[in-house]
Amino acid sequence: MSHHYHNLLCTTCYGERVPPARARLGYRTCLSCGEVAASKIRHTVAPMNKSNYMLFTDPTLLKQLNPKRT
């Protein structure tokens, strides 16, 4: 007998249970709510000249780094 009533409820929709394996990883949302939240986040990884890679979440910062921009 499965004791699914011990699973966490999704903290976004409160309509679905969070799978135990997902909850052990620290997620508190169901798969569908987590997918919606992840699709809202946008970022870009760009190589810097003679340096390492940088993570940019704001496109205006990336545009400012290009010396030949118009």
Q: What is the DSSP letter of 28?
A: -
Q: pLDDT value at position 59?
A: 80
Q: At 21, give phi and psi (nearest 5°).
A: -65, -40
CA distances from 47 to 12, 34, 56, 62 (A): 36, 29, 11, 11
Q: Which of 6-10, 20-24, 30-34, 52-56 has the lowest mean pLDDT?
A: 6-10
CA distances from 40 to 8, 34, 36 (A): 24, 10, 7
Could you give the 3-state DSSP secondary structure of residue 17? Answer: strand
Q: What is the pTM of this model?
A: 0.56
Q: pLDDT value at position 70?
A: 55
